[in-house]
Amino acid sequence: MNKPTDIIEQVSEPLPMKKALSTLQKMVLDHANAAGSVSEPYLQTFSIAVSSTDPLLWLHNQDLYPKFFWSNRKKDDLVAGIGTADVIEYDKTGPNNVSFDILQKELCKKNPGTRYFGGFCFNNEQKQDEQWRAFKSFTFVLPDIQLSVTDGTHTLSCHLMIEPGENSEVRYRRLLETIAKINSSTLRDIPPLPEINSRSFSPDKKQWIKTCNQILQRFQEGLMGKIILARQTLLEFNRGFSPLLFLLRYPFSESSTYRYYFEPEKNTAFFSFTPERLYRRKNNELLTEALAGTCSRETIDNGNGDACQQLLNSEKDIREHKFVKDTIVRELEPICSDIDMEERVRALQLNRLAHLYTQCRAELKPEASNDSAVLKTLHPTPAVGGVPKTKALEQIIQLEPFSRGWYAGPVGWISRNSAEFAVGIRSAVAKENMFYLYSGAGLVRGSNPESEWEEVDQKIADILAITRQKR
């Protein structure tokens, strides 16, 4: 044990899950017999190729926590994880920038290529409501066990982190016990969701329209250029159940969305079907985007119209999108030596909705080639906060009758060398039978409060569609 990191990989043809688990146990046991003390943090990763296995179904069959799931928008990077081999977390109220710096400081102590999965709350200066109790200012987990699908290759891995002074024998034994608890079943029995007892909104429609009109008046006075106003929709089911059923029963597999799930304790989870990338970083290369302006197919020609073309011809949506584009370029300038924001605005078609979309590539300056600098610059984007940023954040706290928690916060994965974060919108937090759904609308001069209410309905329509499935 003289190296801070060891990767032990079994090279073989992909094994069935049950045999792979048995082989993984043997690999860990072989190294446990040679275990000794360590003088610095020491990470071992054991990996083995497995036959094709649905990560979500595998996760559903496990009864170990925390649980998480990540899928990028291209669906060529899927990871399901359980348990905690290592964790970086923080849970004190204060500026988001403090959270970002603390995470960066801790990451500098970790192996450069090791990915931690988790998320941040939207505004760490805001007091959080009770439904967010299990979610810290930020949490990033290296799981005990993870099932990954990368470019079609399925890999089962386990991680063992030993700190100086720890009893390595105890850590090995704990990992072996965790592997022994893994359910290797491939059963596909996915139960339907329970019935909904009640549905309520915060704010209700009357208050929403009143608040929108207040904001529109502030636009007239020149106090702001744009703000995102969010709504909370509470669904009360007739019993508690696993929130993972929402991902398992998600019927729009081809939709261009990230899928994110974090369940810190049983039946308490945050999940998101978000179309929006915050950024992807690899060393000093940065990929981000402007995503703003929304149109629903269902609101034009009884669902038969071209939502993309409608968006591209909408003066209001083009103006809203330009706010986001211009703000991103302006905010990137201090940390980037080269910025290439596409001139052409495209439309991104999802299941029900289309969004205006522009991609941006940039090269980070050497002193800013880290995620703390990027997070401070890009979060919150104008698509979830507003313009100007500080004023919009102040207004959001004053005007929204709930705390956002992890809604619209950065969610994804991070390592020392690279990271990918999505924006946690089109999302929900669940606790037993209570599910709080979140969606927002971008208000600019000329916005119609009634239309914006309909837009927030459309943005959670895919989640609500799952509740109406019978099987």
Catalytic residues: 226, 276
| 53-58: long-range pairs with CB below 8 Å, 24+ | 53/17, 53/147, 53/154, 53/186, 55/79, 55/80, 55/147, 55/148, 55/149, 56/80, 56/244, 56/247, 56/248, 57/186, 57/188, 57/190, 57/248, 58/17, 58/147
Residues in the chain: 471
Chain-centre distance for alpha carbon 185: 27
From CA 255, how far away is CA 75, in angstroms rounded? 10
Residue-by-residue DSSP string for 11-51: EEEEEPHHHHHHHHHHHHHHHHTT----SS-EEEEEEEEE-
pLDDT, tens digit (0-9, with 9 covering 90-100), for 143-153: 999 999 999 99
What kind and span of H or E run contains 82? strand 77-82
Residue 367 marked in a binding site? no
pLDDT by residue for the chain (471 residues), tens only, comes to 445 667 788 777 999 999 999 999 999 998 887 777 788 888 999 999 999 999 999 999 999 999 999 999 999 999 999 999 999 999 999 999 999 999 999 999 999 999 999 999 999 999 999 999 999 999 999 999 999 999 999 999 999 999 888 888 899 999 999 999 999 987 778 888 999 999 999 999 999 999 999 999 999 988 888 899 999 999 999 999 999 999 999 988 777 899 999 999 999 999 999 999 999 999 999 999 998 888 887 665 555 557 788 888 888 888 888 878 998 999 999 999 999 999 999 988 888 788 898 999 999 999 999 999 999 999 999 889 988 899 999 999 999 999 999 999 999 999 999 999 999 999 999 999 999 999 999 898 889 999 999 999 999 999 999 999 865
Domain boundaries, the chain: 5-180, 196-269+276-467
Instruction: Give the DSSP letter string of 120-178.
Output: E-S-TTSPPPGGGTT--SEEEEE-SEEEEEETTEEEEEEEEEE-TTS-HHHHHHHHHHH
What does the angle CA 136 – CA 138 – CA 140 come to, to the nearest 5 degrees?
115
455 annotated to a ligand binding site: yes
- 84 Cβ partners below 8 Å, 6+ apart? 66, 141, 142, 143, 144
Calpha distance 195→429 (Å, rounded): 18
Instruction: Give the CATH superfamily of 5-180.
Output: Anthranilate synthase (3.60.120.10)
CA angle 354, 121, 84 (to 5 degrees): 110
pLDDT value of residue 1: 42
d(CA 177, CA 25): 9
For residue 39, give the nearest of 186, 153, 181, 165 by alpha carbon. 165
pLDDT at 99: 98
Query: How high is the pLDDT of residue 300?
Result: 58
- Beta 226-237 vs 336-341: how paired, if at all? unpaired
Q: Which CATH class is domain 196-269+276-467?
A: alpha beta
196-269+276-467 shares the fold of 5-180: yes
Task: Check residue 10 and give its pLDDT.
Answer: 76
Q: Which residue has the tokens 């106003």?
A: 229
Q: How far apart are CA 172 and CA 28, in angstroms?
A: 7
What pLDDT score was predicted for residue 85? 97
Q: What is the pLDDT of residue 463?
A: 94
Query: CA 371 to CA 418: how far, in whole Å?
Result: 8
Q: What is the pTM of this model?
A: 0.94
